Every structure is written in C-alpha cells, then in structure tokens.
Amino acid sequence: MDKIRVLFLCTGNSARSQMAEAFLRSYAGDKFEAYSAGLEPTGINPFTKRVMDEIGIDICGQKSKSLVEYAGKLHFGYLITVCSSADKNCPTAFVGFGHREHWDIEDPSALTGPDEQKLQKCREIRDQIKSRVSDWVKGKSN
C-alpha cells in the first residue's frame, strides 16, 4: 500500500512545518510520507533543533525547502498550512494536493525577549504541534 504524502507549509519553513514533518514521520511514518516547505524558506531556526532534540527527535537530516521544489512534481494527499500567511498566500495554481487544512500556530521566529523566554515559548509551540499531529493521525486512523 502506498503511503499518503502530507506537506506542511509555512512561510519560512524554519520551525512549525519542520516540527510537524518530524512528528508525523515519528508517529505515522508507516502510513504517511511527511514533507515540509516554505513560501520563502529561511533556514531552520536554531531553537527548533534544540527543542526537538530535548524530546529525542533528531531533525538534522531536514532542511529548509521552497514549495517550488514540489510544485507540479509530487501529488500530496494533504496540504496543511501552519501559519496564516502561508494559508493566505499559497499559490492557487499549486494543484498537487487532495485535501487542504489550516492550523494557525504561533511563529517561533517572531518571538522576542531573552533567549530563555523564547526557548520556553518554542517548547510550548512544539508541544502544541505534537498534540495537533497526534490528534490528526488518530482522526485519520478511524
């Protein structure tokens, strides 16, 4: 049986979509093939790697990618935008997906304040994404 491809999309592909990709791979890599991309990729946020390492999920093999890398090349069963900007600005000509969903999740790259404060907030965002992905997988298993 072929795995269903899932693409998580955000603006920079630096944090939220990277975490969602890693969680989906970890939770349901036998059923889903996880991908992530950004409309304007910026590289992976260092806090993203750090908070994922804290829970034993290594994202060293992941890189920040542009939606252009996939447009017209792969068909995705699901396109899940994880920020309002990506949801609003995703090119409508990108027709390589079956279902589209939107999860509005706060942007760790936009956090301000001392590093420890940003790190703590990034952990909260990570845990929110973990829960969303887990619930999504459970909902698709029924």
Helices 46-54 and 115-141 sit at what angle, rounded to 10 degrees? 60
Please pick, among 4, 57, 71, 90, the residue that the annotation labels catalytic.
90
Amino acid (one-letter) located at 16: R
Is 90 considered catalytic here? yes
Is 122 considered catalytic here? no
Is 83 considered catalytic here? yes
Please pick, among 9, 10, 19, 82, the residue that the annotation labels catalytic.
10
Please pick, among 20, 51, 79, 83, the residue that the annotation labels catalytic.
83
Helices 46-54 and 16-28 sit at what angle, rounded to 10 degrees? 30
Residues contacting 1, CB < 8 A, separation 6+: none
Q: What are the catalytic residues?
A: 10, 83, 90
